[in-house]
């Protein structure tokens, strides 16, 4: 076993790992030792995800895919004075520390036994030093895409014995607009220089991985992951970002790999009543939608847009996926291609009592201000 879980009896002690390289017969090299920098600490007790793990004890069968989407709260945002005093004043300071949250997060993700995990707000150092090695031990391979101008980005993990990685098609929304692929949208946007400038300033990215089933090579899948612009009045910017994203996904899933199914995960910073959600769900947005004036008349940019996919929110529209002191709402989704995939089960979200035990999120028993979405999908 590559995973060791200390018992309560080991609290207060340090761990020592001793390795002796050898071929199992007669040749052995010198032993090497490494000691943990700190002692084993007691865990937080009951966590918000413990009851969810009861539904995900085993990896799901060959014809099924367990997908997770989760904004894990970047350390670069959790460790500011503003976060401690204004955003999360209810959270014990030690529970905002990176090491504490990382241990909680690794425990949470390992217990989901997922085949696909799409994460947002992943610090580069957290991916390299913590998540990639930890999830590797559970059979998951990780891919990372950093945001321009920032220290955090997107990560997609896939189960190695279920999928092989065929190709990667990441893009930054600001860069994508100068790609001939998006010329039509760019021409429309050029009529609104103020809005275009705002879109180009944003550092949001889109991560697209094409995976192939290891047991049935005819089954390929396009896994997209994104984190859209966050500002409450940025509905118009999000509409443009999602239009670029869907156009880019169309290029991969319709042109490069004709008619492969799509799973599109992310933090869309959009509630079910928003234009962005409506656009993804219905396949189009009218030029008179109120979100085109989300930031006032000066930034109005009326466009009629459409996309060819039949997408469905696999986990429905929960009451909230983000729960902080001043706000709660549904911002995260796993959209699936309803022509090719169907939902087998949705893992229930934590109860309202669990979420609010320590007032709001993050807390000593939950590592992020968002809640992971988890569902089992099967091929039609």
Q: Which residues are catalytic?
A: 267
CA dihedral sign, ordered 230, 232, 237, 239 = positive
Which residues, 6 or more positions from 334, have their beta carbon under 8 angstroms from its beta carbon? 67, 69, 118, 263, 264, 265, 313, 314, 315, 373, 375
**What stretch of H or E contains 299?**
none
d(CA 49, CA 43): 14
Instruction: Of 315, 306, 331, give the one whose Cα is nearest residue 373.
Output: 315
Q: What is the CA radius of gyration of the chain?
A: 22
Of 115, 105, 193, nearest to 158 by C-alpha is 115
Instruction: Give the Cα separation of 368 and 380 in Å (integer).
Output: 34
- DSSP letter for 360, please: S
Which tokens in the block code for residue 310? Answer: 């039949």
Neighbours of 380 (CB within 10 A): 10
CA separation for the pair 211, 157 (Å, rounded): 11
Say how far apart CA 314 and CA 197 lie, in whole Å: 34
Residue of 112, 116, 106 whose CA lies nearest to 142: 116
Please give the Cα distance from 208 to 253 (Å, whole number): 10
Question: For residue 71, what is the DSSP state?
Answer: E
């Amino acid at each position: 076993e590559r995973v060791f879980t200390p018992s309560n009896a080991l609290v207060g002690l340090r761990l020592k790992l001793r390795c002796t390289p050898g071929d199992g017969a007669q040749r052995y090299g010198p032993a090497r030792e490494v000691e943990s920098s700190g002692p084993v600490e007691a865990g937080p007790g009951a966590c918000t995800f413990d009851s969810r793990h009861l539904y995900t004890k085993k990896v799901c069968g060959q014809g099924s895919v367990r997908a997770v989407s989760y904004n894990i709260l970047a350390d670069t945002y959790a460790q500011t004075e503003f976060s401690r005093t204004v955003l999360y004043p209810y959270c014990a300071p030690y529970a905002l520390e990176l090491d504490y949250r990382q241990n909680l997060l690794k425990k949470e993700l390992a217990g989901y036994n997922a085949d696909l995990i799409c994460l947002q707000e992943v610090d580069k150092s957290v991916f390299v030093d913590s998540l990639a090695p930890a999830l590797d031990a559970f059979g998951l391979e990780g891919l990372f895409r950093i945001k321009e101008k920032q220290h955090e980005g997107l990560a997609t993990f896939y189960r190695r014995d279920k999928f092989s990685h065929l190709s990667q098609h990441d893009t930054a929304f600001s860069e994508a607009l100068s790609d001939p692929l998006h010329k039509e949208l760019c021409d429309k946007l050029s009529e609104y220089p103020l809005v275009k400038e705002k879109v180009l300033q944003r550092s949001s990215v889109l991560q697209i991985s094409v995976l192939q089933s290891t047991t049935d090579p005819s089954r390929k899948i396009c896994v997209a992951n994104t984190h859209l612009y966050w500002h409450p009045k940025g509905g118009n910017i999000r509409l443009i970002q999602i239009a670029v994203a869907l156009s880019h996904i169309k290029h991969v899933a319709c042109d490069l790999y004709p008619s492969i199914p799509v799973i599109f995960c992310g933090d869309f910073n959009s509630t079910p009543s928003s234009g962005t959600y409506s656009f993804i769900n219905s396949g189009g947005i009218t030029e008179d939608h109120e979100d085109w004036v989300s930031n006032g008349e000066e930034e109005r940019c009326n466009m009629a847009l459409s996309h060819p996919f039949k997408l469905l929110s696999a986990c429905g529209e929960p009451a909230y996926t983000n729960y902080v002191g001043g706000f709660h709402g549904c911002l995260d989704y796993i959209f699936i291609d309803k022509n090719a995939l169907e939902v087998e089960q949705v893992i229930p979200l934590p109860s309202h009592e669990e979420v609010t035990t320590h007032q709001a999120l993050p807390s000593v028993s939950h590592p992020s201000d968002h809640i992971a979405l988890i569902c089992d999908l099967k091929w039609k």
